[in-house]
Amino acid sequence: MKIDIVQEKDRSRFILSGKIDETGAEDMKSRFLGHALGDTREVVFDFSGVSYIGSAGIGKLLLFYKEVAVNGGTMSVIGVSPGIFDLFRVLKLDTIFSVSRA
């Protein structure tokens, strides 16, 4: 799994590619928690290159949402493939944070 981070004023964009399995989820957690949010008010996860997400990855997204929300920010997941989008809808993640298709 590959993770790039782009900081744009008060917005942090995490560009992910590959599979978010258990190992990928831990990598994602390390990168997210290691990135100083500071004045960041918006966190965006770009899933354009993500082909799979397992339960560990979903758990990490919820952890990140909690961290962002506690600091008064917003979180969204963009570029989601149809299969992952359907999974997020079944799990009702789209009612917790913004989710948009590729």
- For 64-79, write each residue's pLDDT tens digit: 999 999 989 999 999 9
Q: Tell me how far apart the alpha carbons of residues 9 and 28 are, in angstroms, rounded to a whole number.
A: 21
pLDDT digits (tens, 9 = 90+) for 12-66: 999 999 999 999 999 999 999 888 777 789 999 999 999 999 999 999 999 999 9
Q: What is the pTM of this model?
A: 0.94
Q: DSSP string of 4-39? A: EEEEETTEEEEEEEEEESHHHHHHHHHHHHHS--TT
Residue ranges covered by each domain of the chain: 2-101
* CA dist., res. 63 & res. 90, Å (int): 19
What is the CATH class of 2-101? Answer: alpha beta
